[in-house]
Chain A
């Protein structure tokens, strides 16, 4: 039982790592929206690059998620 509890706590703690990417994605989208507001013609390219940037930021969040999944189901 104690091991289960420790696993749950550990998985929860691992997900703290999602804070950073969350802020990062927010900043990214803010920048992209600002840019689109200034230059609506370039919105296509900006959106593509924004999604790429989000993917990079999100990858970090996914690492945290994978760690917590491993703690929960593999360890």
Chain B
């Protein structure tokens, strides 16, 4: 009986939080649900971090740092006061390392010792990094910014969902939608803006307010008005004068002076500044601006930079272990010169040599294989979560989260395991050559 009540409670809560709030309450309040922005590269959160030019912090870097901090904090807490009879945290770490160690031992045998630290570190780091992306808020809470062209975003004022390239739901956004956001606070047409600010600044100068240097990248009619107010000028008087000037200009069709860099297509249907002066000041925000959310934290392994970097690290480690165990003899795996030595007796030695050369390619492919496996699984997981949450708001995404928990564990395990197996193989040497002699 109690179980039934709890189940009903869970269903009620999930209906309220996953159904009523995002689809009834939030649109009613004018807040839209953002469609997922699926971006392959990590999105930039801070450009020129700490004032250093070119140092960009992407959200995948933040995800990596969060994972680092969690791993370090846990490791520190577990090893700070080690006791013979372990506490819970120490016990957890002991179980984990013990399991990994016995795995390494059973796979690599006597060679396990040098491989183990790297492999265990990568496993623990990847496990935490893959699970960080499932924390509430990760990949969902972020900064709102103007959507780049082609990226789906959502309307700030309406509740219409806009374009999503992959799923193509909602209304397709136009160039103007993307443009409007970048010119928030001004009118959206550069020709209009230039004409307006020219008129306004002329009026301001006539009325004795200090000369105004206009930035030319945005038409800032509104900032002219602000500037006038800051300088202690009479905004009303300036506006009245500007209106008069604009009317003069409209009578004499000399409007062409201002929109020197404006697009031709807009000027055709351009309204005269006389109509726009009051309108701009009354209505500071243009309506159809398009926003997108850049999450603060994104899964570390959803960035190819991290996974390919780890793949490269694993590749170099494998070569290092091979050379360390076998010396230069390790490279006979690729350049099979021993097979060429008695080619007179055994012409198939040439075949062995060529196979050795092919081995180089398969060795290099390990980098890609390591990198793309991790990236593909985790990125696809993220996309799956997005899509599932938007197809079915309730219950099903919870199951997908469970699946992702499993995938994160498996991929961390597979990466560590492959590193272990490849390293062990490199250290043992190729059995073929030994058997013949």
Query: A: which residues have CB within 8 A of B?
Result: 4, 8, 45, 48, 51-52, 55, 58-59, 62-63, 65-66, 69-70, 72-74
Contacts and interface: CB of A to CB of B under 8 A. Distances in A.
Given A62-B373, A66-B376, A73-B40, A52 B166 contact: no
B417 A58 contact: no
B39 interface: yes
Contacts of A72: 165-166
B103 A48 contact: yes
Interface string B55-94: 0000000000000000000000000000000000000000
A56 to B, nearest CB: 8
A48 B413 CA distance: 10
Given A48-B417, A51-B417, A59 B369 contact: yes
Contacts of B386: none
B377 A62 contact: yes
Nearest to B411: A55
> B interface, how many residues as a size bin?
20 to 34
A4 B165 contact: yes
B369 A69 contact: no
7 contacts: A48-B103, A48-B107, A55-B418, A59-B372, A63-B372, A63-B376, A69-B376
Contact of B376 (A4, A51, A52, A65): A65
A45 B106 contact: yes
A52 B372 contact: no
B107 to A, nearest CB: 8
A73 B106 contact: no
Interface string B298-310: 0000000000000
B380 interface: yes
Interface in B400-437: 410, 413-414, 417-418, 421
